[in-house]
Structure 1
Amino acid sequence: MLPLVTRDELKKEIDAGSVTVVDTMPADYYRAEHLPTAVNIPGFPYEQAAAFTDELAPRLLPDPAAPIVVYCANVPCRNSELVGARLLRLGYTHVRKYREGIEDWVAGGLPTARKGDNAPHS
């Protein structure tokens, strides 16, 4: 089980630029809406999560010691746990999980972003 981070903690870290956020939703969902600054490593379909992580992590997450937070849709979503666990196996040392996911972020009234559009959306 990955260590957890709260919405407020994650917001502060994003604002400070001190964390790399990884959206683990399928690419179409990521393009439609994601947390500000997030990169995408899909964790679904579940059986492809490890392959997606192996392929994308070296390019998107070049520093294995950097603080990383993975998230997906909500508490029942397994994507972030699968990608986060795989990152640990690949040697990433500071991986945490925002368990409540983007649904909680949006419910809290916080801005999101879209692929190809750097402006935040509320």
Structure 2
Amino acid sequence: MFAMLMGLKSISPQDLHVRMQGGALTIIDVNSRQSWQKARVPGAINLGVDFDAGALPADKSAGLVFYCSNPLCRKAPGAARRAKQLGYTDVRVMSAGITGWTAARLPVESAG
């Protein structure tokens, strides 16, 4: 798993939940739209791995956290690397994914 995250910082679901209480943080779910509608980290936006750079905050020092479905999913690390290439400096991956978030019994939002 650490090989996939080379050069990227990771964050646990519990640490992300604590950091969310501190305010300004952009959380990006790179799962399918259907998965995002079913269950997501509260406030998470849904973007594809090939997201439009304009969808991210203008401030390159803004905190960004990417996640996908589970620790084996490679979409979040790929999207996080792309954000770093765009010049973002505070980029993390919640490698546990939404499955780790729900397993930790943290709150979820859904479209239903």
- Structure-1-length-normalised TM-score: 0.79
**Between Structure 1 and Structure 2, how many residues are aligned?**
106
**Cα distance in 2, alignment partners of residues 62 and 109 from structure 1:** 32
Say whether 1:25 aligns with 2:31.
yes
For structure 1, the 5+ residue unaligned runs are: 43-48, 118-122
2:74 to 78, 83, 97: 78
Runs of 4+ aligned structure 1 residues displaced above 3 Å come to none
CA drift at 1:59:
2.8
Higher-helix-fraction structure:
1
| 1:51-100 per-position Cα deviation (integer Å, ceiling 9, x unaligned) | x32x2x31343322101111111110011011001111111111011111
Q: 4, 7, 10: which is aligned to 1:4? A: 10
Coordinate RMSD, CA, aligned? 1.5
Task: Give identity over the alignment, percent.
Answer: 30
Q: How many Å separate the matches in 1 of 2:87 and 2:103?
A: 33
Q: Residue in 2 aligned with 1:95?
A: 91
Secondary structure of the equivalent of 1:21? strand
Contact kept, 8 Å, 1:66 with 1:94, in 2: the verdict is: yes
> Letter of the aligned partner of 1:35 in structure 2?
V
Among 10, 21, 24, the residue aligned to 1:15: 21
Give CA deviations for 1:17-66 in whole Å, capped at 9, x if unaligned: 23211111122211221101111112xxxxxx3xx32x2x3134332210
Question: Secondary structure in 2 aligned to 1:112?
Answer: coil
